[in-house]
Amino acid sequence: MKELRHRFSSGFFITLALALLIFGSKNTSVVDDISSKTSDIFVPILDIASRPFEAAGDFMEWTRQVAIVFSENKRLISENEVLKLAQIKASQLAIDNQRLKKLLNVGEGQVNTIAAARVVSDSDSPFFKSVLINRGTNDGVEKGYAVINEDGIVGRTINLGSSSSRVLLATDINSRIPVKLAAGGINMILEGDNSPYPILAFLPFDKKLAIGDLILTSGYGMVFPPDLPVGQVVEITAEGIRIKLSAKLYNLNYVSIVGYEIIRSPVVENQENTTKEPN
Amino acid sequence: MMGLESKSEIGFRGILPFVSTLVLILVMQLQYRLFFLDNLFPYLSLAAVYYWCIFKPRLMPVSAVFLLGLLQDIISGGPLGMMALLLLIVRIFVVRQSSRFLEREFLFNWLVFIMVALVFGLATWATASVYIKETQNLWNALGQSIFTIAVFPVVVLLLGWVRNMLVTENR
């Protein structure tokens, strides 16, 4: 009897696990709800548990910086001279740019920083690339918001709890991000494939890239604001063009969650309304 | 006998196997800021479930293994049910064979674990590939298995201390 009961419970739970695996992906709202509520419970624990690793990482970084302080200072002084000249040039270009945008009535993108968050957990799986952050709907985070850090793009929010969010990393196989070549403005799509170096797809046939080319976000797709650093081309083969991301996704600490929307001047909207009215 | 549980184990200390496995699952999810660990972090939950199913199977029932696997799926962001299913299969295999493991030395258990970890890695790779509908890198899965095999003695040492807490003072 005991053996029968044991066999029944084993069969029941295996069937349940299989059912979750097969139908879980189809009924995403229920699964997302359960996942986000469970994540909300574990995020505070993971937040505390990850503090020692953050302290150890910070200490190692501090040691490294102390070791290179003199050579770094020398490099920064010479770099500062170059940057001062570039700053003057950039401010002149910014004025020109504003003037031309006004003339053309170009829709201005507005970037709202929703919250700064701490990465508390990493999937650490070769097949699924995501992280958990300690900000959720209570902090104004919504599904599909861009997540960036000081180096470049990180990913986007996919699953939200009240105090936690799951971020799909740019390296995940389900990630697709519209990007462009910094130099020529050629639009492409950055496709994750679960490797540390995502692939650039949809490069026009007549265009060629070179190792070291800088890739930025294009702003299409309305998730990532344009001109954010994405990475650099590191490999060009028959299989595809791979880039090394600017942000180190294996070493994330604090990230920013940003919302992006295009705001057009009210004059244009009024004009559109008046043209529609006769219909 | 190592495999026998006394009645005094039932109670508060009876949840130690579950809690210790849950702690290892949480350890798996922390960020270690090391490039190579990003893809190859060992399956600590597999080592823990294997250990408890040999020495204290009654304290690691099917429902507990299912719940632990489900929690791992949720916290890691993997497909819901994948780890639950694979850990359940490991439990069924180990419990059926556990009488053969109990009387043997650690080295024998480790050798069997090598086989279990490699098959587990292959099963994870196959399930993930079917779920994603694209063949994934097999070497990553096998790398994870090899790391798991390497850290198994450390997990056994840690869980051995936890198991000592289960031994009654009256015994």
- A263 falls in which pLDDT band (50, 70, 90)? low
pLDDT for position B39: 77
In terms of pLDDT, which residue wins out, A114 or A1?
A: A114
Residue of A183, A155, A176 lying closest to A258 (CA atoms): A155
A122 contacts B38? CB cut-off 8 A: yes
Of A77-86, A107-116, A203-212, A258-267, minimum mean pLDDT range: A258-267
The per-residue pLDDT for A126 is 87
Tokens of A105: 């009535």
pLDDT in tens, A111-168: 788 899 999 998 878 888 999 999 999 999 999 999 999 999 999 999 899 999 999 9
Question: Residue A118: beta bridge partners?
Answer: A254
Distance from CA of A179 to the nearest CA of B (A): 24
CATH classification code of B7-166: 1.10.1760
Query: Can you tell me the distance from the alpha carbon of A232 to that of A175, in angstroms, rounded to the nearest whole number?
Result: 18
In this structure, the dihedral spanned by the alpha carbons of residues A245, A247, A251 and A252, taken in order and rounded to 10 degrees, is -130
Is there a contact between B30 and A21 if contact means CB atoms under 8 Å apart? no
Contacts of A46 in chain B (CB under 8 A): 26, 29-30, 75
Whether A123 sits inside 8 A of B131 (CB atoms) is no
For chain A, the average pLDDT equals: 86
Residue B97: what pLDDT? 83
Minimal C-alpha gap between B37 and chain A (Å) = 7
Closest chain A CA to residue B74: A35
By the 8 A CB rule, do B14 and B160 touch? no
Cα dihedral: A196, A197, A198, A204 (round 10): 180
pLDDT greater than 80 at residue B45 = yes
Chains A and B form CB pairs within 8 A to the count of: 148
Most A CBs within 10 Å, among B26, B33, B68, B142, to test the A interface? B33
Residue contact B82–A25, C-beta within 8 A: no
Between the ranges A21-25, A31-35, A107-111, B41-45, where is the mean pLDDT highest? Answer: B41-45
The reply to whether residue B71 touches residue A251, judged by beta carbons under 8 angstroms, is no
Q: Quote the crossing angle between the two packed helices B138-166 and B44-55, to the nearest 10°.
A: 40
A195 vs B contacts (CB less than 8 Å): 137
- The confidence band for A28, taking pLDDT boundaries of 50, 70 and 90, is confident
Q: Which of A28-32, A41-45, A133-137, B40-44 has the lowest mean pLDDT?
A: A28-32
Distance to chain A for B170, nearest Cα, Å: 29
d(CA A234, CA A244): 6
pLDDT beyond 70 at A267? no
Q: Is B81's CB within 8 Å of A20's CB?
A: yes
B115-155 pLDDT, tens digit each:
999 999 999 999 999 998 888 889 988 999 999 999 999 99
Q: What is the pLDDT of residue A279?
A: 41
Least CB–CB distance from B33: residue in A14, A45, A251 = A251
Give me the residues of B, 76-135, that contact A with CB < 8 A.
Answer: 76-82, 84-85, 88-89, 92, 124-125, 127-128, 131-132, 134
Q: Which residues contact B168 (CB under 8 A, 6 or more apart)?
A: B6, B8, B9
Q: Do A250 and B66 touch (CB under 8 A)?
A: no
Distance of alpha carbon B78 from alpha carbon A109, whole angstroms: 34
pLDDT above 90 covers a percentage of chain B that reads 57
To the nearest 10°, report the CA torsion of B37, B40, B46, B50.
Answer: -100
Q: Is a pLDDT exceeding 90 seen at residue B11?
A: no
Kindly report the nearest CA distance between residue B22 and chain A, in angstroms. 11
What percent of chain B lies above the pLDDT cut of 70?
Answer: 89
